[in-house]
Structure 1
Amino acid sequence: MRYKLTAATVLAGVAVPGLAYAHHPMGGATPNTFMEGLLSGIGHPIIGIDHLAFVILVGLAAVFLTRKYMAPLAFILGTVAGCLLIANGASLPFAELVITGSVILLGALVMSGRKIPSSLYVAIFAIAGLFHGGAYGEAIVGAENTALAAYLIGFAAIQYSIALGAGFVAEKLWHATEAAATKPRIAGAVAAGVGIAFFVENVEGMIFS
């Protein structure tokens, strides 16, 4: 079922690209309360198709790792750090290109099905998380500490839940029949395709803006 969701996100990205790039569950307004911050944090990784694709890929990739439940935390902590950097006035260059590039890279690794050193995956998770978190931070700039804390809790919790859910489904398929075992790799290919589409769109935007 997780892979049907991945495919559905591709269709959503084609049908409503404005929604995918809006990245603001509150319609662009800065959250002012704990509940607004929490709901905004939960919604942001789901509304951004590129973010959602990467979170799912984190869960798929973690299946190959020894510490499959701990490895996704490198990405989660990276997103928290990136969000806090942006919320405190820092900037991350070429963020959208790095975000979409990370989707392509991780999608390709998952698609390959090869044994990759855990340290490489964890490094990719952490670095990519920094930039994904930076994008999350743009929606919370200027918010009070209460809303900011709720926002961090919201997107950290939803991302970890999605990653674990994707990994759980992938692991079940991986140990099932040989045909079923190809599905995680297919999901990696689909997600990489999402990343390529967004990457090209970002490059075109930079060239023709």
Structure 2
Amino acid sequence: MRLARPALALLLTAAALPALAHTGADAGAHHHGFLAGFMHPLTGLDHLAAMLAVGLWSALAARNGRELLAAPLGFAAMLLAGALMGLAGVALPAVEPMIAASLLVLGLLVFTRKRLPAFASAALVGVFAIFHGLAHGQELAGETDAALTLAGMLAATVLLHAAGIGLGWALRRANHWLPRLAGVAVALLGAALLGGVT
């Protein structure tokens, strides 16, 4: 029970951050550079929820180190790949709906603690990460400091994955309802965003 209080405080803090946040590529003009890129996943509700959920699910469902790291590393790698695609002018349909769908799916994975083989975990989150990255790459196309902005974004993504893993590890045996509650919250956010873009 000692672990549940700090975990609840961390969840409430994370929930409070997005009150002033935008939700990604549809937010309008952005400042660029490493710091702006670093802050974007921390202040965009959709990105913050997705990054934390990937780490949380990994910690709750993994049985070994390979499974623990597969989804976070897969997400980070494919986020970068998607961003580079966006910078190169690649366009895919349904970018915003896929970002919203990623939250719905990740929330359900956290809620159920569904275990998948390492490769399947990385592939599943990797598909969604391409769309998250693509939105940012398109947003930054033509900017001279796009590489710095993407580096900041990737650094924050990795840190949020690590925070999600830490939170999930703390809750793995200490509590059953808090991670389920977090999963429901992420899934509901995804469903709400999906309803708004479809």
Same fold (TM over 0.5): yes
Q: Provide the residue aligned with 2:146 in structure 1.
A: 148
Q: Provide the residue aligned with 1:202 in structure 2.
A: 197
Query: What TM-score does the superposition give when structure 2 sets the normalisation length?
Result: 0.84
Is 2:15 the partner of 1:20? no
Deviation at 1:90, TM superposition (A): 0.9
Distance of 1:117 and 1:22 partners within structure 2: 32
Distance of 1:155 and 1:97 partners within structure 2: 21
The answer (yes or no) to whether the contact 1:76–1:156 under 8 Å persists in 2 is: yes
Distance 1:93 1:172, change over 3 A: same
**Selected match of 1:2 from 10, 16, 20:** 10
Is 2:123 the partner of 1:127? no
Distance 1:87 1:59, change over 3 A: same
Superposed CA deviations along residues 69-114 of structure 1, whole A, max 9, x for unmatched, are 3530110111111111111111121000011001101111110123
Deviation at 1:30, TM superposition (A): 6.2
Q: Provide the residue aligned with 1:162 in structure 2.
A: 160
Distance of 1:187 and 1:6 partners within structure 2: 11
Distance of 1:184 and 1:77 partners within structure 2: 26
1:139 match: secondary structure: helix
Is 2:45 the partner of 1:49? yes
Distance 1:108 1:70, change over 3 A: closer
Query: What TM-score does the superposition give when structure 1 sets the normalisation length?
Result: 0.80
The root-mean-square deviation of aligned C-alpha atoms, in Å, is 2.1
Superposed CA deviations along residues 33-60 of structure 1, whole A, max 9, x for unmatched, are xxxx202211222232111111111001
Distance of 2:76 and 2:156 partners within structure 1: 10
Distance of 2:163 and 2:117 partners within structure 1: 22
**Partner letter of residue 58 of structure 1?**
V
* Stretches of structure 2 lacking an aligned partner (at least 5 in a row): 1-8
The answer (yes or no) to whether the contact 1:54–1:106 under 8 Å persists in 2 is: yes
Superposed CA deviations along residues 161-200 of structure 1, whole A, max 9, x for unmatched, are 0111121121112122xxx233122111111111111110
| Paired-residue identity, % | 31
Superposed CA deviations along residues 136-160 of structure 1, whole A, max 9, x for unmatched, are 113311012xx12211211111011
The answer (yes or no) to whether the contact 2:58–2:69 under 8 Å persists in 1 is: yes
Trace 1:11-160 onto structure 2 (pairs within 5 A).
Answer: 12=19, 19-21=22-24, 28-29=29-30, 31=32, 37-63=33-59, 64-65=61-62, 66=64, 67=66, 68-144=68-144, 147-160=145-158
User: Which of 72-81 and 131-140 deviates more?
Assistant: 131-140
Deviation at 1:6, TM superposition (A): 4.4
Q: Provide the residue aligned with 2:173 in structure 1.
A: 175
1:169 match: secondary structure: helix
